[in-house]
Amino acid sequence: MKSLVTLATLLTMAVFVTAAAAPTGGGVPAAVHYIGHDKVAEVMAKGGPIVNDPGLVVLANRRGVGGVEYHEHTNHIFILVEGEATLVTGGTMVGAKRTNPDQMVATSIDGGEIHHLSKGDVITIPAKTPHWWKEIPTKTVAYYAVNIESQ
């Protein structure tokens, strides 16, 4: 229960901070959303959106290691709820390929900042910042991703 209160507080803070900085519709919920814990658990098991508004998406994800991602307009807030991971941010993308006008992927990062994350940690990743789930010793990590679209 305490973790749900913490998550709700973090999500509320993210929305208010974004609302103060973003134009209407950009990262600000268009409606009230209530998602019960059973639905959240169901989505977390397979990964996907639990809120999907213009400019604001909240995902419940479970994943393993993967390639580097770079988004032109997507700002992330990751809230870890299970597992441990090494996430690398910044640096230079190795083997970068543009997958669409707003996104690139790569095989790894040279340099960058290393973050050792575990349950209860929160990390923010601004748009235009490469990020890479490099190592996950627990095989998977479960987290909420609050994605805020910028101009």
Please write the tens of the pLDDT for every residue from 70-86: 999 999 999 999 999 99
Place of tokens 């290393």: 114
Rounded to whole angstroms, the Cα distance separating 127 from 145 reads: 14
Rounded to whole angstroms, the Cα distance separating 147 from 95 reads: 25
Q: What are φ and ψ of residue 33, in 5° steps? A: -125, 125
CA quadruple 39, 40, 43, 46: dihedral, nearest 10 = -130
Q: What is the pLDDT of residues 28-59, one digit of tens each?
A: 788 899 999 999 999 999 999 999 998 899 99
**What percent of the chain stands above pLDDT 70?**
82
Q: In angstroms, how far is the first alpha carbon of the chain from the final one?
A: 36
pLDDT of residue 47: 93
Rounded to whole angstroms, the Cα distance separating 113 from 12 reads: 27
CATH code given to domain 2-149: 2.60.120.10
Sketch the domain layout of the chain as residue ranges: 2-149
pLDDT of residue 10 exceeding 70, the answer is: no
Q: 135: pLDDT confidence band, cut at 50, 70 and 90?
A: very high
